């Protein structure tokens, strides 16, 4: 066959070129017996790490965990051993490096279709993807004024107009999902990637004492009580590193109290 011949006739130079071209996608790092190594940052502070970790844990996907503390002299060098993006989480799997939380979730959902990590209903799945995409690229007001800090309690702080706008939008989409699909359980009924994606928002609302009304408080309590979330948050509480820029929230007048 033509394609077979094409492979056979690749000379050494072409193989080397192909190797070089695909190098950024491959990983030489061992993934251990589970086949997956998830590299994360501090459990107290890293919301993006939490999303991937909670999704893998909630769906019973075994993985080896590597934790790199943020804000240290050697943080960038340590992250660079795994990802050129300089950001965590990173999943090492099947000889490739996946360096983004949403791509990690999508990859795992494809690898394990029987686990139904996304809602099984087409409409619900489309909405779940929209919500995760909106979280992934939006809610900058909330992320800036109310950084994740599971250990801390800053009641009433961080309420900039932008954060308030984001809180309103989050309430709107949670209410819509819970009433149409969630039936007072998780956003789309069973726990899905969408709930893993909003779990760090739930911890923020706890940290900053954002009250959303009885129905949404119930949803937040169910997320916080989910075994995967509980495991992450209890391990976050046991961490001792302090990152000062996440320890002093922004005042409502927009001025930063951060050191």
Ligand X SMILES: N[C@@H](CCC(=O)N[C@@H](CS)C(=O)NCC(=O)O)C(=O)O
For residue 69, state whether it binds ligand X (rule: CB under 6 A).
no
Which helix (H) or strand (E) is 5 found in, with range?
A: helix 2-8
Give the nearest distance from C-beta 208 to ligand X in angstroms: 18
For residue 57, state whether it binds ligand X (rule: CB under 6 A).
no
Q: Which is nearer to ligand X, 149 or 160 (by Cβ)? A: 149
Q: Closest Cα partner for 249 from 209, 200, 196?
A: 209
**Binding segment for ligand X among 55-63, 81-89, 183-191, 246-254 (CB under 6 A)?**
81-89
The neighbour count for residue 142, using CB atoms within 10 Å, is 25
Task: Compose the 84-103 pattern: x for residues touching ligand X by CB under 6 A, - for all others.
Answer: ---xxx----------xxx-
Spatial distance between the Cα atoms of 232 and 242, rounded to a whole number of angstroms: 17
CA-atom Rg of the chain in angstroms: 20
Query: Contacts with ligand X: how many residues (CB under 6 A)?
Result: 13
Spatial distance between the Cα atoms of 232 and 224, rounded to a whole number of angstroms: 10
The pair of structure tokens assigned to 11 is 């000379």
- Give the one residue of 27, 36, 37, 48 binding ligand X; rule: CB under 6 A: 48
- Give the one residue of 27, 44, 46, 203 binding ligand X; rule: CB under 6 A: 46
Q: Closest Cα partner for 235 from 31, 105, 65, 79?
A: 65
**Binding segment for ligand X among 9-17, 41-49, 116-124, 219-227 (CB under 6 A)?**
41-49
**Binding segment for ligand X among 46-54, 117-125, 138-146, 164-172 (CB under 6 A)?**
46-54
Burial of 231 per CB tally in 10 Å (0-12, 13-18, 19+): middle
For residue 149, state whether it binds ligand X (rule: CB under 6 A).
no
Could you list the residues that contact ligand X (CB under 6 A)? Answer: 41, 46-49, 70, 75, 87-89, 100-102
């Amino acid at each position: 066959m033509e394609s077979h011949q094409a492979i056979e006739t690749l000379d050494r130079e072409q193989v080397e070129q192909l190797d070089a071209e695909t190098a950024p996608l491959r990983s030489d790092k061992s993934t251990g017996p589970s086949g997956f190594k998830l590299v994360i940052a501090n459990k107290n502070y890293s919301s993006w790490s939490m999303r991937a970790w909670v999704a893998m844990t909630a769906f019973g996907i075994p993985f080896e965990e590597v934790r790199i503390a943020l804000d240290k002299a050697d943080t960038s060098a340590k992250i660079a051993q795994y990802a050129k993006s300089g950001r965590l989480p990173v999943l090492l799997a099947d000889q490739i490096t996946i360096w983004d939380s949403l791509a990690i979730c999508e990859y795992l959902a494809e690898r394990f279709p029987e686990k139904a990590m996304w809602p099984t209903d087409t409409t619900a799945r489309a909405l779940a993807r929209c919500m995760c995409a909106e979280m992934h690229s939006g809610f900058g007001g909330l992320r800036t004024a109310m950084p994740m800090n599971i250990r801390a309690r800053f009641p009433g702080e961080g309420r900039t107009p932008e954060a308030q706008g984001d809180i309103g939008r989050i309430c709107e989409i949670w209410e819509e999902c819970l009433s149409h699909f969630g039936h007072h359980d998780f956003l789309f009924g069973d726990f899905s990637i969408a709930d893993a994606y909003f779990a760090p928002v739930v911890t923020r609302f706890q940290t900053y004492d954002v009250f959303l009304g009885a129905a949404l408080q119930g949803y937040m309590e169910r997320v916080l009580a989910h075994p995967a979330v509980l495991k992450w948050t209890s391990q976050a509480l046991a961490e001792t590193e302090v990152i000062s820029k996440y320890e002093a929230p922004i005042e409502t007048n927009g001025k930063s109290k951060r050191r």
